Structure 1
Amino acid sequence: MRLRAGPRNSITDVSGVLVGHADDGRLASGVTAIVFEQPTVASVDVRGGGPGTRETDLLLPERTVQAIDAICLSGGSAFGLDAASGVMAALAEAGRGFQVGSARVPIVPAAILFDLLNGGDKEWGRFPPYRDLGHTAASAASHDFALGSVGAGLGARTANLKGGLGSASSAVEELGVTVGALAVVNALGSATVGDGRHFWAAPFELESEFGGIGPAADVSQDAWFPASKPMAGGHTTIAMVATDAALTKTEARSLAVMAQNGLARALVPCHTPLDGDVVFAAATGHAELSGERVTALTWLGHIAALTLSRAVARGVYEAAGTTPGAQPSWKGLFGS
């Protein structure tokens, strides 16, 4: 089985998926909205000790709601959960939502990362700005969007380098589907091997998407233990994988579980008690998955993990240290 990146090499290569950002440089924080053109089957897998989420219980396979309208990813720690209300407002204005009698309720699960101590001005007064940022992000959703220090990734950090938002896609001819991933990398761990320029995800890179420098020739034990300053609840990588395959909610849950392996292959360490790692999975249903079902689902989950690893590396590769007190960026240290 051979993979190639889609035409945009982003999650919007999956039919029916749009992405929008809103951020504030002074705040050093922002919001990213993943909006589905039609209600979409989705589920989630939550790991690590410090997650911050909204509406994730309804994504369990046994819950009544079978499709969602959007996913909201935000900075701001628990304050950022307000961003989903802004995304809901934008969708409500467009007439979207789960219908209950004459009422429509947009379904927008969300996850947040901690960026309150990244040097930005968080003195916002009585109400945090995330609801307005969420509305702006959802209203801006399109097929084309920026990577790096944008949206929810604006103030993201890792153990040693500026974090950021990355995306990638994989066209899978043997299965007849496309897989995409989006990751906001704000990890306790490191995306690179030690203090060098090589990414842990290098073996999975396609088309020199994060520098094309290949894997590190030698990996010492020191690289397994990157220098960092653990802070309870202060780290998190929030992500989403999507496919145009038609899946059930139970199958989407399995996809999210397998996709979490992509974080573990791209970040060292990962899923710690200090991270709140969350991976959503969505299936827009525009294509039929080819082949024997269990085998095809196994390969689909494996490819989702590989694609998510690439998205993590791209998030750090594309990041820029433009906010107050930002860490050095990969490109700032090693060039483009």
Structure 2
Amino acid sequence: MNNLLTDIAGVRVGHADDAALASGVTAVIFERPAVAAMDVRGGGPGTREGALLDLANTVEMIDAIALAGGSAFGLEAGGGVQAWLAEQGRGFAVRGAIIPIVPGAICFDLLNGGNKQWGRFAPYRDLGYAAAAAAAGTFAVGSAGAGLGAQTANFKGGLGSASAKTQGGVKVAALAVVNALGAVTVGDGPWFWAAPFEIDGEYGARGFPPSFTPDMLKMRIKGGPDATSVENTTLAVVVTDATLTKPQARRLAIIAQTGFARAIYPVHAPMDGDVVFAAATGEKPIDPLVGLTELGMVAANVVARAIARGVYTAAALPFPGALPAWRDRFG
């Protein structure tokens, strides 16, 4: 176990990003199609193929997931991932046609200081292709891929990952892109809201503060109390090696959203675009009631850890007025 999404066998992750653009793409590639579903809690989501993942609809399995910065422009990243998969002969077969199934989601990073004057066409399709081609068994966390341009209310955001096992040995792992409206830390101190779930000092082992003050509990959001724009999102991909149906994968995504509430304060706001994708590779059967409940419980913990780790490992953007990284203050 490397504390990464790729601890699930058959899953690879690749990044492609541009330092001058201050944005990027992360591709999650499944070596075999995976059962998948999605849960949306934020009030301003940006998704691709979201309707396909609805439980009422026919296709149950996907080939990849594309996460990107760039707001709505970043939805083109899925086309790049799709192009790479098509070259590999991967996809949903419709008689003689092969169609790679690539849901995705985006976060808003258009105002982070990077150069977004890209001309007629945004670069996200090409970045998506490059991210898919780079997919491997290990990958960077922090300011990488779709997390390169991410920010929170008070510190630089980023991309984090974490993994765990249930008592029965079923694996579950998460990858999170943390561009939240709220804060991942308690106040402006070194403590993470996800402190109770930390394993092996993966985000600094600071625990909670000795006591909570009113200042720690006040609202910290991007733009302050007059914030009006939809500039925020936390995206998560949760993958398990359990055997799940599409409705069970949806339930896993719903329970895993609890991890957002354990790690971000406030969360699921009208100005957030929070999305969780849940996918199952189908290696291990589980009990559909108690087993799925335990899996969801562990998944929520893993999501919270991935969110905290994304902020803990991030590096500040090199632009005037950029938010500090957690490590700049407390590293």
Normalising by the smaller structure, the TM-score range is over 0.9
Paired position in structure 1 for 2:309: 314
Structure 1 position 87 matched with structure 2 position 84: no
Point out the more displaced range, 188-197 or 218-227: 218-227
How many residues were matched structurally? 326
Task: Give 2:43's match in structure 1, choosing from 49, 62, 69.
Answer: 49
Tell me how large the CA RMSD over aligned residues is: 1.0
Rounded Cα–Cα distance in structure 2 between residues aligned with 1:160 and 1:215: 18
Secondary structure in 1 matching 2:149: coil
Paired position in structure 2 for 1:258: 255
Identity over the aligned pairs, expressed in percent?
60
Secondary structure in 2 matching 1:293: coil
The alpha-carbon deviation at position 15 of structure 1 amounts to 1.4
Q: 1:206-250: CA deviations, max 9, x gaps?
A: 111001121222122322212531342111111111100000000
Rounded Cα–Cα distance in structure 1 between residues aligned with 2:318 and 2:69: 14
Equivalences for residues 1-336 of structure 1 within 5 A: 7-172=1-166, 174-224=167-217, 225-226=219-220, 228-229=222-223, 230-289=227-286, 292-325=287-320, 326-335=322-331
| Maintained 8 Å contact 1:120/1:323 | no
Rounded Cα–Cα distance in structure 2 between residues aligned with 1:142 and 1:296: 30
| Maintained 8 Å contact 1:152/1:184 | yes
| Maintained 8 Å contact 1:166/1:312 | yes
* Structure 2 unmatched runs, 5+: none
Q: Which amino acid aligns with 2:177?
A: V
Secondary structure in 1 matching 2:257: helix
List, as ranges, runs of 4+ consecutive aligned residues in structure 1 with deviation greater than 4 Å: none
Rounded Cα–Cα distance in structure 2 between residues aligned with 1:258 and 1:183: 15
Q: 1:267-316: CA deviations, max 9, x gaps?
A: 00000000010000000112222xx4301111111111010000000000
Secondary structure in 2 matching 1:44: strand
The alpha-carbon deviation at position 14 of structure 1 amounts to 1.0
| Maintained 8 Å contact 2:182/2:222 | yes
The alpha-carbon deviation at position 321 of structure 1 amounts to 0.6
Distance 1:212 1:33, change over 3 A: same
Rounded Cα–Cα distance in structure 2 between residues aligned with 1:147 and 1:106: 26
Rounded Cα–Cα distance in structure 2 between residues aligned with 1:188 and 1:227: 5
| Maintained 8 Å contact 2:164/2:302 | yes
Q: 1:43-70: CA deviations, max 9, x gaps?
A: 0001111100010111122211110000
